[in-house]
């Protein structure tokens, strides 16, 4: 039986290859030329997009003298990880990195919770006045109170120089509600009705039925919101004066834009510190970007489906 199964699988693969080859041969030469040029252009564009990221990584592991001799480097020269040793051995980088992870995880979970709680009743037809609620929600997406009123509100709430300023403001977003609301509408009402007949309450239906069935949109919103929080540097510029509360992006900003060597803890650099500054800049960029690059493949399978179904309105 096993041999038969393997033989059938081999035959299927062979027949599939033959069909692809026959389709390729049957195509018009102009169509075949278009496909070759299309694939070639897409490959070139992909490599062109990856080139800056690759250059940043290569410079981060290249010695300073080699970088001066070769301003644009495609391959590492005199491989050196001293920049990463410098960064990973600094307590300020550790603190800002852990703080950023805490902010991203906490704010994303709160955002998803509030979005689900808001989207669930709006997706039910029995909720009266839901159109009025939707209008108020959309208005908040189109109009803002401005930066000064926002600052005064944050100050009155006592969130200046407080880590909660990264979490509470912006925890609710109308755009996320619209996506999750439309996704909830795709869930058959019969599941809700069957659970109600069995005596289930609203919270049970939401957390035991709707949320487990909505992992594509939840993963998509988590990726959208999490990346936004990870890249957020403006909040700390406006509301944070203490360097101990700076996220990793603000450490990166001070080092790259302001050229502030004090951003990295004292005692780490030797008299040759300036020789490391270029590679350290690139190494910090790699460290700040790497977590998102690692997380994205795990959410990619839900990403397209979540955006597609969340954007369809029935």
Q: Which residues contact 235 (CB under 8 A, 6 or more apart)?
A: 165, 166, 169
- Our count of domains for the chain comes to 1
Q: Give the CATH number for residue 181.
A: 1.10.3720.10
CB 213 within 8 A of CB 184: no
For 240-292, how does the pLDDT look when each residue is reduced to its tens digit (9 = 90+)?
Answer: 998 889 998 888 888 777 555 555 544 444 444 555 577 788 888 888 888 88
Q: Is residue 59 part of a domain?
A: no
Q: Is residue 4 part of a domain?
A: no
pLDDT for the residue numbered 236: 93
Q: Is residue 283 part of a domain?
A: yes
Q: Is residue 98 part of a domain?
A: yes
Residue 304 pLDDT level (bands cut at 50, 70, 90): low
Domain that holds residue 227: 87-310
* Choice between 71 and 298, residue whose per-residue pLDDT is larger: 298
For 116-161, how does the pLDDT look when each residue is reduced to its tens digit (9 = 90+)?
Answer: 999 998 888 778 888 888 888 888 888 888 889 999 999 999 999 9
216 closest CA partner among 174, 187, 194:
187
Q: Is residue 71 part of a domain?
A: no
Q: Is residue 133 part of a domain?
A: yes
**How far, in whole angstroms, is CA 166 from its chain's centroid?**
16
Q: Which residues contact 259 (CB under 8 A, 6 or more apart)?
A: none
Q: Is residue 300 part of a domain?
A: yes
DSSP string, 23-84: HHHHS-HHHHHHHHHHHHHHHHHHHHHHHHHHHHHHHHTB-HHHHHH-SS-SS-SSB--HHH
Give the torsion through C-alpha atoms of 123, 216, 106, 97, to 10 deg. Answer: -150
Q: Is residue 138 part of a domain?
A: yes
pTM value is 0.74
Average pLDDT, rounded, for the chain: 79
Residue 80 pLDDT level (bands cut at 50, 70, 90): confident
């Amino acid at each position: 039986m096993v041999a038969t199964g393997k033989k059938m699988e081999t035959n299927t693969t062979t027949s599939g290859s033959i069909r692809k080859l026959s389709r390729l041969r049957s195509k018009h030469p102009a169509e075949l030329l278009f496909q070759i040029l299309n694939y070639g252009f897409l490959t070139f564009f992909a490599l062109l997009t990856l080139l800056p990221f690759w250059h940043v990584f290569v410079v981060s592991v290249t010695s300073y003298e080699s970088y001066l001799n070769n301003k644009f480097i495609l391959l590492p020269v005199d491989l050196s990880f001293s920049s990463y040793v410098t960064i990973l051995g600094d307590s300020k980088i550790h603190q800002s990195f852990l703080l950023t992870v805490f902010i991203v995880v906490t704010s994303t979970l709160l955002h998803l919770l509030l979005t689900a709680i808001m989207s669930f009743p709006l997706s039910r037809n029995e909720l009266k006045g839901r159109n009025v609620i939707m209008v108020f929600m959309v208005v908040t997406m189109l109009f803002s109170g401005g930066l000064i009123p926002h600052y005064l509100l944050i100050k009155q709430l006592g969130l200046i120089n407080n880590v909660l300023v990264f979490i509470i403001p912006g925890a609710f977003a109308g755009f996320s509600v619209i996506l999750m609301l439309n996704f909830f509408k795709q869930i058959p009402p019969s599941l809700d009705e069957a659970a109600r007949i069995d005596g289930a309450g609203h919270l049970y239906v939401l957390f035991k039925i709707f949320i487990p069935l909505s992992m594509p949109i939840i993963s998509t919103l988590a990726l959208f919101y999490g990346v936004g929080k990870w890249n957020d540097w403006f909040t700390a510029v406006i509301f944070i004066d203490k360097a101990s509360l700076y996220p990793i992006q603000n450490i990166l900003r001070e080092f790259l834009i302001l050229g502030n060597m004090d951003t990295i803890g004292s005692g780490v650099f030797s008299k040759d510190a300036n020789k490391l500054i270029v590679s350290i800049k690139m190494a910090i960029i790699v460290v700040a970007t790497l977590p998102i690059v690692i997380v994205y493949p795990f959410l990619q399978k839900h990403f397209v489906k979540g955006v597609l179904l969340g954007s369809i309105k029935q």
